[in-house]
Chains A and B, each alone.
Chain A
Amino acid sequence: MKTFDPAALRRTILRMAYAGSTVHIGCAFSIVEILAVLYRSHLRLGAGPADPTRDYLVLSKGHGVMAQYACLHELGWLTDADIDRYFADGTRLKGLSDAHVPGLEVTSGSLGHGLSVGVGLALAAQRKGTSQRCFAVVGDGESNEGSIWEAVLFAAHYRLSNLVLVVDANGFQAMGTTAEVMDLGSLSAKLAAFGFHAQDADGHDEAALDAAVRAALADPAPRPKAVVAHTVKGKGVSFMENDNRWHYTRLTADTHARAVRELTP
């Protein structure tokens, strides 16, 4: 039984970030519970990443990819060497979601791409009459992109009830808070206005997230579903929380040790 324990996933993220001296820790930490709940309780992965009947997890906000790597590592789809040699020359795991890695469905990093591909996957499943579902994790900053709203329009118009959009609303984007940079207002109200079954949830409360996803999947209406998960960028390590520098800062021996200590029971 895979537990997808959030503290353990965050420790894996730290292990990668420290090994590779990489950035984007804050936006990986904000989606840990979202991915944990989806991988633990909702994704039907069949025989593995190449199973054509699998459910899809599309990480449209590809900057948080270390959180997904941590989940794939727990699934056994990535090895310890993948984690410990992160960013070493000639290795396969990149700093942004990359569809060549089994288990990652899209190539992201340029924002506003993944959701459309996820919409296409959901439409393919709908047309084939399978019960496959597509969960797409989109950032709130990413929602500045016009293509996100093109995809939202399309998903509602084509009644893609097998699409579950989860917004990681951590309140930050590259250069500041979303309120400062490009105020998004209420994303759930916007998504509801576009025709989605839309709910808000605490993005770090696994029971609440799980209930929201269950409610979304239980909605009988032929419409796409959305959960706006309100999260904290850098969640889990006190000196990283709500500090946008951890979008860019690399770990030192000291910060790494302190962060691991906070995440170790």
Chain B
Amino acid sequence: MRDAFSNALVRAARTDDRVLLLTGDHGYALFDGIRSACPDRYLNAGVAEQNMVGVAAGLAKGGFRPVVYGLGAFVPVRVLEQIKIDVCYENLPVVFVGDGAGFVYSHLGTSHQSTEDVAALRAVPELVILSPADAAEMTACFELALCLARPVYLRMGKADLGAVHATPPTIPLGGILPVRPGGGPVAWIATGSMVRTALAAAERWPGSAVYSAPCLKPLDADAVAAVCRRHRVVVTVEEHSVFGGLGGAVAEIAAERAPTWVCRVGVADRFSKYCGTYQYLLGEHGLDAAAVVERVEAFLGQVGATARAA
């Protein structure tokens, strides 16, 4: 997925001379492509994220199309106010790429983990939030982001999990993508790294439908409501807090448009306690496939929707 990002960036820089990459001194090796293809489009703003976002706003006002890169813990969270005031209030065409979403930097601890970024951004007007699940979604999301000409946050999570789509998808703004068609009482809507996990967990309920949500804001309320109407339980899965992310967004739509049971699987209201591998931390937070199955079984039991009905 990181290659897909790098390639898409180089393509964009080659075809549009307004595209500039700004990094807060992050992205070792990631920018070798653009640095060799278009060296003058690569700007290292130093370890100074607040200024970097302001500069991006100024560049956008001056006609450029900045792509601002940082680890998700720093861009967007550290610079939330700059994103709100300097970029979104003027609806400027700046793409923010937050790398290492969720627990990618599992060994480095809380400063580098990012499970609140979507919640922090969802309430900021004008901003589009994209969360690709694989390399093909990343390519489509990046192209969409530049094409929209408005503020976009592109959340880049665990990058080496493999493809979830058999063929490269087209991503309409706000759309949810069917990954595995199905019926029955349970449907899954997952985003980013958790689409693969949802596919694995869904095996427990053969025939259940699995959707990828690469666009967290806007989120097509008609499409989500239609899923809610078709299924007794909608399970959302995300490597992000259960507050304010995909689960929150789906629950809001369900509550207003098509009440159904929504099981929000994500990071509970707590920080990581321990050091360990990415897989270890997913386990700690109940986000590996086995833990997700257990959680959903418990939920189904609680709401009286049994696996038998599937």
Residue positions of A touching B, CB distance < 8 A: 52, 99-100, 105-107, 110, 112-125, 127-128, 146-147, 150-151, 153-154, 157-158
> Which single residue of chain B is at the shortest CB-CB distance from A147?
B50
B46 within 8 A of A: yes
Given pairs A117-B58, A151-B55, A153-B51, 9 additional interface contacts (CB within 8 A): A106-B86, A107-B86, A117-B86, A119-B58, A120-B57, A124-B63, A128-B62, A151-B54, A154-B51
Shortest CB distance A207–B (Å):
31
Select one of A105, A121, A123, A150 contacting B48, CB under 8 A.
A150
Known A117-B54, A119-B54; judge A153-B48 contact (CB<8 A): yes
CA distance A128 to B50 in the complex (A): 24
Shortest CB distance B97–A (Å):
18
Chain B residues within an 8 Å CB radius of A100: 89-90
Interchain CB contact under 8 A, B86 and A121: no
B201 within 8 A of A: no
Q: Would you give 23 A-B contacts (Cβ < 8 Å), ordered by A?
A: A107-B85, A113-B81, A116-B50, A116-B51, A116-B55, A117-B55, A119-B54, A119-B55, A119-B58, A120-B57, A120-B61, A122-B58, A123-B58, A124-B59, A124-B62, A124-B64, A127-B64, A128-B62, A146-B50, A151-B54, A153-B48, A154-B45, A154-B51
CA distance A146 to B85 in the complex (A): 17
Q: What 0/1 pattern do residues 38 to 60 of B give for CB contact below 8 A with A? A: 00000101101011111111111
Chain A residues within an 8 Å CB radius of B51: 116, 119, 147, 150-151, 153-154
Chain A residues within an 8 Å CB radius of B46: 150, 153-154, 157
CA distance A112 to B85 in the complex (A): 12
Residue positions of B touching A, CB distance < 8 A: 43, 45-46, 48, 50-64, 81-82, 85-86, 89-90
Chain A residues within an 8 Å CB radius of B63: 52, 124, 128
Known A120-B56, A147-B51; judge A113-B86 contact (CB<8 A): yes
Chain B residues within an 8 Å CB radius of A146: 50
CA distance A117 to B81 in the complex (A): 13
CA distance A150 to B64 in the complex (A): 21
Chain A residues within an 8 Å CB radius of B61: 105, 117, 120-121, 124
Chain B residues within an 8 Å CB radius of A113: 54, 81-82, 85-86
Shortest CB distance A146–B (Å):
7
Chain B residues within an 8 Å CB radius of A105: 61
Chain B residues within an 8 Å CB radius of A121: 58-59, 61-62
> Which single residue of chain B is at the shortest CB-CB distance from A116?
B54
Chain A residues within an 8 Å CB radius of B82: 113, 116
Known A116-B58, A119-B58, A151-B51; judge A107-B89 contact (CB<8 A): yes
Shortest CB distance A263–B (Å):
33
CA distance A114 to B61 in the complex (A): 13
CA distance A228 to B86 in the complex (A): 25
Chain A residues within an 8 Å CB radius of B55: 116-117, 119-120, 123, 151, 154
CA distance A120 to B68 in the complex (A): 13
CA distance A138 to B74 in the complex (A): 25
Between A100, A110, A117, A150, the greatest number of chain B beta carbons within 10 A of the residue's beta carbon is seen for A117
Chain B residues within an 8 Å CB radius of A150: 46, 48, 50-52
Chain B residues within an 8 Å CB radius of A52: 63
> Which single residue of chain B is at the shortest CB-CB distance from A109?
B85
Chain A residues within an 8 Å CB radius of B62: 120-121, 123-125, 128
Shortest CB distance B67–A (Å):
14
> Which single residue of chain B is at the shortest CB-CB distance from A52?
B63
CA distance A106 to B58 in the complex (A): 9
Chain B residues within an 8 Å CB radius of A118: 58
CA distance A118 to B56 in the complex (A): 10
Shortest CB distance A231–B (Å):
25
Chain A residues within an 8 Å CB radius of B48: 147, 150, 153-154
CA distance A123 to B59 in the complex (A): 7
Shortest CB distance B278–A (Å):
32
Interchain CB contact under 8 A, B54 and A115: yes
> Which single residue of chain A is at the shortest CB-CB distance from B44?
A157
> Which single residue of chain B is at the shortest CB-CB distance from A132?
B62
Shortest CB distance B79–A (Å):
9
Shortest CB distance B124–A (Å):
14
Chain B residues within an 8 Å CB radius of A112: 50
Select one of A120, A128, A153, A157 contacting B58, CB under 8 A.
A120
CA distance A128 to B96 in the complex (A): 23
Select one of A99, A119, A127 contacting B89, CB under 8 A.
A99
Known A110-B81, A116-B51, A151-B51; judge A124-B89 contact (CB<8 A): no
> Which single residue of chain B is at the shortest CB-CB distance from A122?
B58
> Which single residue of chain B is at the shortest CB-CB distance from A148?
B51
Interchain CB contact under 8 A, A117 and B57: yes
Shortest CB distance B45–A (Å):
6
Chain B residues within an 8 Å CB radius of A122: 58
10 cross-chain pairs, A with B, having the tightest CB-CB distances, nearest first: A120-B58, A116-B54, A124-B62, A150-B51, A150-B48, A120-B55, A147-B50, A121-B58, A117-B58, A116-B51
CA distance A157 to B46 in the complex (A): 10
